[in-house]
Structure 1
Amino acid sequence: MTTTHAPTEVLSRVFGYDAFRGDQAQIIDTVVSGGDALVLMPTGGGKSLCYQVPSLVRPGTGVVISPLIALMQDQVDALGALGVRAAFLNSTQSSEERRAVEAAYVAGELDLLYLAPERLSAPSTLALLDRGEIALFAIDEAHCVSSWGHDFRPDYLALAVLGERWPAVPRIALTATATEATRADIVTRLGLDDARVFVSSFDRPNIEYRIVAKDNPRQQLLDLLRTEHAGDSGIVYCLSRRSVEETATFLSRNNIPALPYHAGLDARQRAEHQSRFLREPGLVITATIAFGMGIDKPDVRFVAHLDLPKSVEGYYQETGRAGRDGNPATAWLAYGLQDVVQQRKMVQTSEGDAAHKRRLGANLDAMLALCETVECRRGQLLAYFGQPAGPACGNCDTCTAPPETWDGTVAAQKFLSAIVRLAQRRQRYGAGHVVDILLGRTNDRIVSLDHTSLSVYGIGTELDERQWRGVVRQLLAQRLLTVGDDGYGTLELTEESSAVLRGERQVRLRHEVKPSATRRSSASGRKAKADDVPLDAAGEALFEELRAWRAATAKEAGLPAYVVFHDATLRQIAAVRPTSREQLAGVSGLGAAKLEKYGDALLGITGA
């Protein structure tokens, strides 16, 4: 299919769209004319078109470097449905399959070829690429090359060879998440000093960001799914493999179909669970962060975190897997004191030098600041990536239910004083024991350690345990407390603590809101997608009939439903009710190959 047609003609004929969005046209023109590009574009923003269209316009084969071996088949299937000649080379293939793909590449019979980054370190792969004509190199998930990023992969360091060995071949590096430090690292490590840099808005206005205080988080999650996301597909992230398994079991027992995904499962089981998630509607996947990169499922309606992410970049990348179709979606995080203690402990005990630990600590500080902000959460998220926040978004929890703050200086002084009194006895304890002291409890441990004789014993009864835990969590977030390096989660003062104890620094804290107060009363408050096609009753019935046909067609072909058609295309068909192929051809997202393959079936349903 490699042609010399204009990009807009390829966009219309192959992909079925009338116009490019945002920076797509400039990016594509840059690469088509032989220039390099670094593209930062949010998940769902249309990054793939930025290398797929030039691969079809320029002579030769577009070579895509992707770390997503488990998803290459789906990507190739999706392109095949559009009539694009795509293939991959990876370790899942037999030697016969690999030889067939290699022969097709050398013969110029492929439009796109997907490779895993580790293959570029093999001389045989480099020699193979030399035997064919390369249209461009696309480096997907380019943040993986940066040690500043949240998902560093050493195999990406070998990709500098692309510019050295094939200097005349344009390269395009793409990622959804990169701070300025990560961006600079990508440029340096990939040798993209002369590349044009395109930074799209990081805003995903259809995603509602919500962070709630932990209080039986699995039950909180269940309440969220039952009240707002019944029957929806979604992803639940957990920190440990055990939590992943237990959460999947918990949801399944409560009649919410859920499957686990983590590195402890064998490759076959992971592939099966991923495939089911992509193909079956209404399925929830519970996972460690090993899951999700490159997932192209458009109708993920929620992403939930049951544990605190390690960085804002990781959080943004993971939540960005929701609402790729532009329709309303929820990013929900349950966050508590133990999360902060655990993450601080992980930073303290991590391998690496002091600079590495400082970097991890800075990442955690930014994440905690996002959790504890009283300002617009979206604004703070955008500011982290260097984008002006603008007015309050109206679609995050701090906008819809603004938190109240209070002067927590005295409470902070009481807690910090308790740490001092214990230190004077050469003792260190975790938050729970210190709170027991402040509340004047008389459990066996308090009595046996003679902590009833401390001057701070019982001076904190104006707050209950939940409120004190909120105070501790926020003191940790503000670095007025830290976790000791003994590995037990004990608490210590910081350099900043002394100013509070001397009364020289005020401490403002958020009021602890009961978890139920942060939940919307119903899903009716969701914002509709701005370009949603309105349908009357007959149109809605036709839309559901088209969805049923799509489900059956996808199942028969062994494809995810969205590879056949996205909901937006079916809604437009239901609105237009085309009676001819000419009318069908005007529907967005319906290119020539799909018109040829599905046109008669669609017209049969619309009554033509």
Structure 2
Amino acid sequence: MSTINTVQTSPQAVLHQVFGYHEFRGPQEAVIHALVAGEDALVLMPTGGGKSLCYQIPALVREGVAVVVSPLIALMQDQVNALREVGVRAGFLNSTLSSQEWWQTESALQRGELDLLYIAPERLIQPRTLELLHGLTIALFAIDEAHCVSQWGHDFRADYLKLDLLPREFPRVPRIALTATADLRTRDEIVERLQLHNARQFISGFDRPNIQYRIAQKNNPKIQLMRFLREEQAGNSGIVYCLSRNKVEQIAEWLCSEGFNALPYHAGLSASIRQQHQEKFLREDNIIMVATIAFGMGIDKPDVRFVAHLDLPKSIEAYYQETGRAGRDGETATTLLLYGLEDVIKLRQMMSQSEGSEEFKRNEQQRLNAMLGLCEITSCRRQSLLRYFGDHLVQPCGNCDNCLIPPQTWDGSEAVQMALSCVYRTGQRFGAGHVIDVLRGSNNEKVLQFDHHRLSTYGIGKHLSVDEWKSIFRQLVARGLLDVNSDGFGGLLLNEGCRPYLRGEERLLLRREAKSIANSPRRANLSQDIANEDQSLWQALRACRKRLAEEQGVPPYVIFHDSTLREMLEFRPLTLDQLRGITGVGESKLKRFGEEFLTVLREAEYQG
């Protein structure tokens, strides 16, 4: 049951008494007041910025039940559990419920016993559901992950297109659409398709300053990933993204053989296994989820310390959203992207062979080119990333690999001429691997079979290593100076853009690849940030949280976030009233868990 009579209580009181926070962040307060007043709203706020409170607090202030549309069936239970832990009456309707559970939820709705109802879009648009909702007092509709409405986006969901029925069916109920990922075009599409032309728009900055962005050439990805995990992320939870299901399985199995707690996640696994792995990741520490992009949208786990990509994302939107799953708690987090020429070729072939329209293919190609541009720049990556979303950072961030270890450039004009000439003389039929063999003077069977040892370009590039030539070809493809044949074999083709460089009429500065990935100056293991004399109390507080979480059947962060435990460690409250002043301790949690944590704190005080 709710901890207070929330209807007609001020948003500030709900924020403090229910959720345990003392002040709003960013535009939260303005969004909440607009929604409470009955206005529509479109909210763009970075992951971890507090989007959920923008509709959860109005849901408790306005009369009736708030209906939250979410595509994340697997996470609805955790979201509902988290609300119940703070005393909010919440439920969900989706395909995982039995007929008995469905009936119980409907009955609770009809009796006015729910404050928030989470529902999948395909369930909401069914006539039976609409009939049920018409019999209720609806406080508001919240459309989460609103970018799913965009047909140009990477998370398109067809059922979202039908949500334009809400203003027709419920014309006096305010609506709020929320997302962390939307460029200007996607933003316009959300407004158009959800009929939010009169909505107030609240656009927060996209910057996540606690995340360190790093992108490196893919040389030996397993060794690179192993160094990253062992040297920087020991004991941390994180996500490793791969492009294919087979690669997910292979990497997860390999990590387990190396002593890590790794789990695979992709659409080819059964629903029960996916749910089991997701729950384990959410509720336990030191778990690495190896996944395709099928995993993680809207994930609530706040203490993901790293996200690593072993393949190139298709777009900056995808990259931003996937890396945004790290560091939701505001603590230090690191992202690592390893990519190579083979990634560029594979994605371009996939796009050219797509069944989409020519316009769709062009847009996809533009998004990939923007992603490649982010990988190849020598300036601050965060400035480039934010610029893509129409946001601006005046000074370089100081927390990306290019800022921490500025890359070197070199005049690659002569090598570029060699590369382009060799592509031409080998017939524009072969991939980069074979062209590099010719340039370096290899006498392997394929080179001899095609008489390429007789070409004028044979052996002229011996002075550069295989990795250096791979970097050159990758940059040429990324800059659009070479095309990739869509026949499935990845043959390189000259185009008009390369002509001035082939003729030597223009110079070209290339990025010189670092010999290894830049090591972070900060380790992301939060326990290592705790002073030695505080370690025993820190571990005792975590142990208390874990025990309570297991008793409640919820992830530990649902009891209290790490930031709340750190504040307990700093201020050492010894009474319930003192504990009430700790961020994240609302009235419900104070009554249910307060004495448990105070016992730990008093014991430490007594021993001290």
TM-score class normalised by the smaller sequence: over 0.9
What letter matches 1:227 in structure 2? E
> Does the 8 A contact of 2:237 with 2:304 survive in 1?
yes
Is the deviation greater in 237-246 or in 437-446? 437-446
Q: 2:504 is matched by which residue type in structure 1?
A: G
Using the alignment, how far apart are the partners of 1:373 and 1:362 within structure 2? 16
Q: Residues 420, 536 of structure 1: CA spacing in aligned structure 2 closer, same or farther, 3 A cutoff?
A: closer
Establish whether residue 545 from structure 1 lines up as the match of residue 540 from structure 2: yes
Matched, 1:241 2:240: no
Contact 1:540-1:574 within 8 A present in 2 as well? no
DSSP 3-state at the match of 2:383:
helix
AA matched with 2:122: E
Q: CA deviation at 1:542?
A: 2.1
In the other structure, the counterpart of 2:606 is: none
Q: 2-side partners of 1:274 and 1:225: how far apart?
A: 20
Contact 1:234 1:283 in 2 (8 A): yes
Shift of 1:389: 2.5
Q: Distance in 1 between matches of 2:402 and 2:521?
A: 19
What amino acid maps onto 1:62 in structure 2? A
Out of 538-547 and 201-210, give the one that drifted further: 538-547
Tell me, in whole angstroms, the C-alpha distance in 2 between the residues paired with 1:555 and 1:58: 34
How far, CA to CA, are the matches of 1:99 and 1:486 in structure 2?
A: 54
Q: Write the mapping of 1:37-76 to structure 2, written as runs, cut at 5 A.
A: 37-76=41-80
Is 1:330 the counterpart of 2:351 in the alignment?
no
Is the deviation greater in 504-513 or in 153-162? 504-513
Counterpart selection for 1:525 from 510, 514, 522: 522
3-state SS, counterpart of residue 51 of structure 2: coil
Please report how far the alpha carbon of residue 528 of structure 1 lies from its aligned counterpart in structure 2 after TM superposition. 11
Question: What is the aligned partner in structure 2 of residue 358 from structure 1?
Answer: 362
Letter in 2 for 1:519: A
Correspondence list, 1:419-458, <5 A: 419-423=423-427, 428-458=429-459
1:113 to 117, 139, 150: 117
* CA deviation profile, 1:233-272 (whole Å, cap 9, x unmatched): 0000000001001101111111111000000000000000
Offset, 1:541 = 2.8
The structural deviation recorded for 1:527 is 8.6
Cα deviation digits, residues 494-513 of structure 1 (max 9, x gap): 22011222333322210122
- Which of 405-414 and 495-504 deviates more? 495-504
**Paired residues of 1:148 and 1:185 also in contact (CA < 8 A):** no
Q: Which residue of 2 aligns with 1:570?
A: 565
Q: Which amino acid aligns with 1:507?
A: L
Q: CA deviation at 1:524?
A: 5.4
| Structure-1 separation of matches of 2:488 and 2:601 | 66
User: Deviations for 1:455-474, whole angstroms, at most 9, x for unmatched residues?
Assistant: 22222222121111100000
Deviation by residue 1:564-583 (Cα, 9 ceiling, x = unmatched): 01111112122222222111
Counterpart AA for 1:509: L
Percent identical? 56
2:254 maps to which residue?
A: 250
- 1:153 is aligned to 157
Shift of 1:485: 2.0
Deviation at 1:537, TM superposition (A): 5.3
Show the counterpart of 1:460.
Answer: 461
Verify: 1:558 aligned to 2:556, yes or no: no
| Post-superposition offset of 1:428 | 0.7
CA contact (8 A) 2:426 2:435 kept: no
TM-score normalized with structure 2 length: 0.96
Tell me, yes or no, if structure 1 residue 485 matches structure 2 residue 480.
Answer: no
CA distance in 2, matches of 1:350, 1:387: 31
Distance in 2 (alpha carbons) for counterparts of 1:120 and 1:536: 50
Unpaired segments ≥5 residues, structure 2: 604-608
After superposition, what is the alpha-carbon deviation per residue over 1:562-602, rounded to whole angstroms, capped at 9, x for unaligned?
A: 00011111121222222221111111100000011012212
Matched with 2:376 is 372
Which residue, 299, 306, 315 being the options, matches 1:302?
306
Report the Cα offset of residue 390 of structure 1. 1.5
For residues 99 and 10 of structure 2, the distance between their equivalents in structure 1, rounded to whole angstroms, comes to 37
Name the aligned partner's letter for residue 511 of structure 1: R
How many angstroms apart in 1 are the aligned matches of 2:602 and 2:422? 77
Q: How does 1:194-205 map to 2 (within 5 A)?
A: 194-205=198-209
Out of 35, 38, 42, which is 1:31 matched to? 35
Per-residue displacement from partner, 1:60-89 (whole Å, max 9, x unpaired)? Answer: 111000000011100000000000000000
Q: Residue 574 and residue 409 in structure 1: after superposition, are their counterparts in 2 closer, same or farther (change >3 A)?
A: same
Which letter maps to 2:33? Answer: D
- Tell me the secondary structure at the aligned position of residue 24 of structure 2: coil
Output one character per residue of 1:179-209: Cα deviation in whole Å (capped at 9) or x when no partner: 0000000000000000111111111111111
After superposition, give the CA deviation of every residue in 1:529-563 in whole Å (9 maximum; x if it has no partner).
Answer: 9xx9x976554432221111111111122110000
Report the CA distance between 1:514 and its aligned residue.
1.3
**In the alignment, does 2:578 pair up with 1:583?**
yes
Query: Of residues 340, 343, 347 in structure 1, which corresponds to 2:351?
Result: 347
